[in-house]
Amino acid sequence: MLNKYARAFFTRVLTPFAAFLIRRGVSPDTVTLIGTAGVVAGALVFYPRGEFFWGTVVITLFVFSDLVDGNMARQLGRSSRWGAFLDSTLDRVADGAIFGGLALWYAGSGDDNVLCAVSIFCLASGQVVSYTKARGEAIGLPVAVNGLVERAERLVVSLVAAGFAGLHKFGVPGIQYLLPIALWLVAVGSLVTLVQRVVTVRREAAEADAAAQESQGTEAAK
């Protein structure tokens, strides 16, 4: 849902900015690299210190590069396999930095081993969820399921919760508990999504193998 509606909205909003960057001679790959660097810096500089509000502000500003670079590529007519590969690869780097930064906080000053483990699980499961779809498609399967929690949902839930949790330092009472709740939700949602994709790939693989065997049997009968 977020991918469908939010992307369409922000694409319209960011199109003029993308056009401005093109006029200034900036390439889509440059935007991708700068955006990822900004997300990584925001996550690994602020989150391990418990500065969730300002860390989220920095991350959010750079996260939109994921929409700007694709918009620029479309305007330039330069959509390419390399651009898609770079974008997808650096998305995984950015996601790892966000949940890694949260894990560092809980392993250090946050002093909560359980939430540290949950953060690490969110990091790992997010990577595996993406891998299952990519690997399924690589072996010729459609992987016709998105699942309960995709990347957009993981980021929105985690970043919104982290940003609000950071308001605790400004005197807002009790709001710090939003982040642990969000991490548990993302962890459970990612696990459900992983199961959904594995089950789908298993079914599609069985159907493809059965179709191949039937085709071979038909050819042999001829």
> Residues marked as binding for Mg(2+)?
66, 69, 87, 91
- Fill in the amino acid letter for 127: Q
Distance CA 155, CA 57 (A): 13
Annotated binding site for a CDP-1,2-diacyl-sn-glycerol: 29-32, 70, 74, 80
Give the contacts of 5 (CB within 8 A, at least 6 positions apart): none
- Fill in the amino acid letter for 165: A
Distance CA 169, CA 103 (A): 19
Annotated binding site: 29-32, 66, 69-70, 74, 80, 87, 91
Q: How many CB atoms lie within 10 A of CB 170?
A: 8
C-alpha angle 193-194-200 in degrees, rounded to nearest 5: 90
Distances (CA, A) of 211 to 128, 133, 203, 205: 28, 21, 12, 10
- Helix (H) and strand (E) counts in the chain: 8, 0
Asked about 95 being catalytic, the answer comes back as: no
> Which listed residue (91, 95, 111, 209) is catalytic?
91
Residue positions annotated with a catalytic role: 91
